[in-house]
Copies of this chain bind each other. A is one copy, B any other.
Amino acid sequence: MKSSALSQLGRRTGPPAISWLIQLALTRPNLISLAAGFTDNPSLPVDDARAVLDEILASPRTGQPALQYGSTAGDPLLRELTAERLRHLDGAKRGAAAYAVERVVITHGSQQLLYILAEALCDPGDIVLVEDPTYFVFLGIAQSHGLRCRGIRLNEDGIDLEQLEHTLAALKRSGELRRVKLLYLVSYYQNPTGITTSLAKKVAALQILKRYERAAGHPIYLLEDAAYRELRFTGGDVPSALTAKGFSERVIYTGTYSKPFATGIRVGFGLLPEPLRTVVLNIKGNHDFGTAHLLQKLLARAIASGRYEKHLVELRARYAAKAAAMHVAMKKHFPAAVQWRRAEGGLYHWARLPARVKTGVKSKFFQAALARGVFYVPGALCYADDSSRSKPDGEMRLSFGSAGIPDLRTGIERLGTVLRRFIKE
């Protein structure tokens, strides 16, 4: 048998970008991983989860429905709490149409929703606009579906609007605008850079997209991935794109309860305009006809009881302390030529090395760091394949999510030792 029976998608789909890194961490336990986007084990709400599950399963009245199938769209109470919570976060009026409970879909992690959205909107060869750099698993979805990505440069407060405009204009000229389906923004404490997009930029981006819709012949959506919104350390919350007046039919908002509560409890959500909501539900009907009901009941009760909020307050303080410890260690051990912004939320610092030092998995620097017992996510993995620019490869994503403070300090110290070997000042 010479050939395999695989589909085009099956042939295209590569291994996850960091599967090799994860394997590395498992096989060499003495390595300090600054790569993983895991939350840290001691932060996980074991007692809260136990108490809530115990309440749910204490009686058949609440226990049986939790162990039964639910609906494809999700548990009605969790959908209601989700809509209300988001409306409150956004400071929107009661009854605001953008936060109608009908718009809420509960998914098996927000990852599942990103996947289904790609399926619902994009054919092979279609174009998605992404931040440069962006979330690498989204790039994996795009690669698997044969999509083309165009990277839009990131400034301190989000994408470069001029480049967005320039890219759309160029695609219009080349007759490819009809292939553009969405702009994907990881808008809060972005993975990997930590950058938060201002509301003004989100509104301006929506206005720009709108201007190109006629030439595209169809809506161009803003997909706002707010996965890290709740992991805020300092500063105020930024309203979501749902607050942009007149644009609620163009904004797809996705969020997650996994990272703010427990990653072992995979529950994400989205707020979607029609006809997307219906199509997403039809597709999800084929994926799984509904997210595990028990986990939805767990989260609904954790939120309704206030345990979720309480845990979140603790989690923020915990990550803030870890981010600070990492930042201080970086200041102490990294050469001055290495640049980063102190994290204000999320799980990552993004460090830029002087131009001549490469950070890729095959680079001398990466190998030297490994030999010294520490590793990170090479920046190049977070950039889309986009032939219109060369892929930067002098950055590192440094996560303070999974390791404890002592390991973070040791890891940064080790990395500093290697950096000083490569960067003579």
Residues in A lying within 8 Å of B, measured CB to CB: 1-10, 13-16, 19, 22, 38-39, 41-42, 44-47, 49-50, 53-54, 57-60, 63-72, 108-109, 111-112, 115, 119-123, 126, 137, 140-141, 144, 181-182, 213, 216-221, 262-266, 275, 278-279, 282-283, 285-295, 297
B289–A292 CB distance below 8 A: no
Contact A264-B293, Cβ < 8 Å, known A39-B68, A220-B5: yes
The 8 Å CB contact of A64, one of B46, B54, B144, is B46
A45 to chain B minimum Cβ distance, whole angstroms, is 7
A171 to chain B minimum Cβ distance, whole angstroms, is 15
- Which chain B residue lies CB-closest to A37? B69
B69–A288 CB distance below 8 A: no
The 8 Å CB contact of A10, one of B5, B19, B119, B295, is B119
Q: How far is the CA of A120 from the CA of B144 in the complex (A)?
A: 10
On chain B, the residues within 8 Å of A181 by CB distance are: 5, 7
B9–A119 CB distance below 8 A: yes
- 15 residue pairs of the A-B complex, CB under 8 angstroms, read A1-B213, A5-B219, A7-B120, A10-B279, A10-B283, A16-B289, A38-B68, A46-B59, A49-B57, A49-B67, A67-B265, A112-B287, A112-B288, A115-B288, A266-B292
A283–B50 CB distance below 8 A: no
Contact A44-B68, Cβ < 8 Å, known A16-B282, A217-B2, A288-B266: yes
Interface centre among A45, A46, A53, A58 (most CB of B within 10 A): A46
B13–A41 CB distance below 8 A: no
On chain B, the residues within 8 Å of A140 by CB distance are: 285-286
On chain B, the residues within 8 Å of A126 by CB distance are: 7
The 8 Å CB contact of A286, one of B54, B141, B285, is B141
